[in-house]
Structure 1
Amino acid sequence: MTLEIHGTVADGFDAVRAEFAAFVAGERPDYEGQLCVYADGRRVVDLWTGDGADATSLYAAYSSTKGAAHLVVALLVQEGTLELDRKVTYYWPEFGAEGKGALTLRELLAHRAGLVGTDSGFTPAEIADDRQIAERLADQRPFWRPGTAFGYHALVIGALTGEVVRRATGRTLQEVYEERIRAPRGLDFHLGLPAAHEPRFRATLPMAPTPPQQALLDATPTGAQSLSAVAFNRHAARPTDLESLPNERAVRERGPASVGGVASARGLAGLYAAAISEVGESAPLLKPDTVAEFGQIHSVGHDLVSRTHKAFGLGFQATAEAAYPFLGAGSFGHSGAAGSQAFADPRAGLAYGYTRRRFAFPGGAAPENERLVLAAHRAVSALR
């Protein structure tokens, strides 16, 4: 069965459609995916494919959720409600237990807290509830001395920064996002999916690795108490199954700010377009100085959790350093475990969003993004 490509591209973006079509032609018949690109606030690529899917289908965003969460933080810093170099305890006094009192909000956002999980792990109910995660972590001893190194706070960073937001504003991060960002901009990117939108959600399908890939997975050591196991809650009495996590209605309903978002590619790309560009009659959410601050690399090198080279700005991945070196300096965004990718390249005026239904091997931004991002970047750059 040949999958049909639906949607449109603007003049000058035919190469992006061709790259998407070439990838889809080599995929499984059950592939579903969406690709959306903005150039200087104008939607120039809007493509999708898959049996039963359309442009409004919604997929689990996984860690791409962190981009929406930390756009809230950036907006509050820009307005002066939050200060990056204040200690976290200024907003959240209980956080200072077990030697964490000197940590600043800047260091927290840069994954430097050493607070990637708890000794005993989280229950499924806790994983779906940022308030419960934050309460548990306030009392937790960090896994390294805060501020001295960094490691990916995969399931908890949104709960930690979200608690700072709640203490400073009296509103949850999800509420601020809905009221200040999503609803006014009409973004199809939800932190807490209303029941009325449930029929549009396409449940994540599990990874289907080839035999060589499966052999690699089987040979990968996984320590029951390793830092990675703690960060991904694999050491808990009921270990978290990342592939199926957003298929739980409680996760989609509550929208935990690390992993619980639900979005279309239009929603992902639209978020970053709104952050850096004038879209329609709406001014950019962020001023250039804020974009530069949050996109600047704050943690780079050996990530203690993934044990690989990583790069983070403030809450966001430093997308050029972490994944696509041809992008402009200061590019910022976040990928998601099932394969999604979303980011802004402010220098090029580029905003990019990609979703897929089946969990991609080996997890994180799906490999096809590299060619799709390159094609999009070349097309946008040719306009300048």
Structure 2
Amino acid sequence: MTVNVNGTVAAGWEPVREEFGAFVAAERISPEAQLAVYHRGRRVVDLWAGEDTGADTLSGVFSITKGAAHLVVALLAQDGVLELDRPVSAYWPEFTGDGKEGLTVRQLVAHQAGLVNTDEGFDYEEIADDALIAARLAGQKPRWEPGTAYGYHASVIGALTGEVVRRATGRSLQEVYEERIRAPFGIDLYMGLPEALGERWKPVLDTVLTPAQAALRAAGAARAPELQPVAFNQHRDQPMDLVTFANHPRVRALGPASAGGMGSARGVAALYAAAIGVLDGRPALLTPRTAAEVARPHGAELGPDRVTTESDHFALGFERQPAVGPAAFGHSGAAGGQGFADPATGVAYGYTRRRFGFPGGVAYENGALTAAVLKAAGDAGRG
């Protein structure tokens, strides 16, 4: 396959472009990918490749949205508007019964509520509406005693934390994000895509599996933990299709905080650059103390994830980044994208792909791309 790699890299960052180009050339079908990296105050990587993807193309970024949502939570906790160790019910009185009344905001954000979905799930119109999701989950019996285990609340965590934000501030999480983070920093990552930007939007594309990949996917689905289809809203008579979800007009319009963001790699990288203060020399959104707190492991002592069976996966709403370093925090997206910040190296990384990778979740190429980025950052620090 021949797909041109476009864009620029700063001097010393050429190996990142080479790695990106090698990955694109090795793909059977164009991944429609973008890569952007900030390092200590400047953008040093700005690359894209695809038949229908440009520098400023916007598309669904899935759970990368959770990083934006939980940056809002971290900022409000830093401001003292939210108290992480206060019960959720102190902000949201209806959040009671079956042990929910003792759950703290910290535990909620760390995926410990046991409310991975309702018994009946949500259709596409409903899954776009965070307020509706939150209202239904408030009366749902948890799948485990809240605070005693954790499991990835894939489709609903943004609605749950968003309701706490709304009760504490009088504003939706999406509104706070727009006012405090996206607009002031000019970040090209939206929770609710403005109609004026519709011409820049391109749909998420499904992957085309080989017979061997199709067999592996089917075998994986058969072995999936009991709660996994529930958490991903696939326990309905008509299971939710992730491509249809990302491209649904109501999802684009409302920007549900769990997985409904629309953005570019530039936007993802800028989000994390703004968090740690490496965006064009502007002050960091998070103090070093807050950045360290959101990167700290949460829930490791509670055993493996009840949804995914992974261990020691979550920081405070973010995913830990062990391949980057103990200070790093970020979040991946279902199509293969990834975003993270690393205060130790001054790196903010954003990678998106419009075409789903196999098998889904953070795509394999992020490993080599991240390694190339960190090496270039280290070489720059020694120069």
Q: Is 1:60 equivalent to 2:60 in the alignment?
A: yes
Q: Is 1:106 equivalent to 2:106 in the alignment?
A: yes
Give CA-to-partner distance per residue, 1:102-146, whole Å, 9 cap, x none.
Answer: 000010111111110011212222101000000000000000111
In structure 1, runs of 5+ residues without a counterpart are none
Q: How many pairs are equivalent?
A: 379
Name the aligned partner's letter for residue 271 of structure 1.
L
Q: In structure 2, how many angstroms separate the alpha carbons of the residues matched to 1:107 and 1:188?
A: 30
Aligned pair in 2 of structure 1 residues 207, 187: CA closer, same or farther (>3 Å)? same
Contact preservation (8 Å) 2:328, 2:342: yes
Structure 1 partner of 2:291? 291
Structure 2 partner of 1:362? 359
Structure 1 partner of 2:74? 74
Structure 2 partner of 1:249? 249
Structure 1 partner of 2:347? 350
Q: Is 1:330 equivalent to 2:327 in the alignment?
A: yes
Q: In structure 2, how many angstroms separate the alpha carbons of the residues matched to 1:224 and 1:74?
A: 32
Structure 2 partner of 1:303? 305
Contact preservation (8 Å) 2:272, 2:348: yes
Aligned pair in 2 of structure 1 residues 340, 225: CA closer, same or farther (>3 Å)? closer
Name the aligned partner's letter for residue 314 of structure 1.
L
Q: Cα distance, 1:310 vs. partner?
A: 4.7
Q: Cα distance, 1:199 vs. partner?
A: 1.5
Q: Cα distance, 1:222 vs. partner?
A: 4.2
Q: Cα distance, 1:78 vs. partner?
A: 0.5
Contact preservation (8 Å) 2:38, 2:278: no
Contact preservation (8 Å) 1:124, 1:238: no
Q: Cα distance, 1:217 vs. partner?
A: 1.2
2:315 to 313, 316, 322: 313
Q: In structure 1, how many angstroms separate the alpha carbons of the residues matched to 2:251 and 2:187?
A: 19
Moved more, 234-243 or 8-17: 234-243
Give CA-to-partner distance per residue, 1:275-312, whole Å, 9 cap, x none.
Answer: 00142352111100000111101123511101233511
Q: Is 1:239 equivalent to 2:236 in the alignment?
A: no
Percent identity between the two aligned chains? 57
Name the aligned partner's letter for residue 312 of structure 1.
F
Q: Is 1:121 equivalent to 2:118 in the alignment?
A: no
Q: Which runs of 4+ in 1 moved over 3 A?
A: 221-225
Structure 1 partner of 2:258? 258
Contact preservation (8 Å) 2:278, 2:346: no
Moved more, 256-265 or 29-38: 29-38
Structure 2 partner of 1:214? 214
Structure 1 partner of 2:180? 180
Contact preservation (8 Å) 1:252, 1:262: yes
Q: Cα distance, 1:261 vs. partner?
A: 0.1
Q: Secondary structure, in 3 states, of the residue corresponding to 2:101?
A: coil
Contact preservation (8 Å) 2:191, 2:257: yes
Give CA-to-partner distance per residue, 1:237-290, whole Å, 9 cap, x none.
Answer: 432111221110100100000000011000000000000014235211110000
Contact preservation (8 Å) 2:20, 2:369: yes
Q: Cα distance, 1:51 vs. partner?
A: 1.6
Contact preservation (8 Å) 2:24, 2:30: no
Contact preservation (8 Å) 1:69, 1:257: yes
| TM-score when normalising by structure 2 | 0.96
Structure 1 partner of 2:189? 189
Q: In structure 2, how many angstroms separate the alpha carbons of the residues matched to 1:238 and 1:139?
A: 23
Give CA-to-partner distance per residue, 1:61-120, whole Å, 9 cap, x none.
Answer: 100000000000011000000011000001001111232110000101111111100112
Contact preservation (8 Å) 1:224, 1:234: no
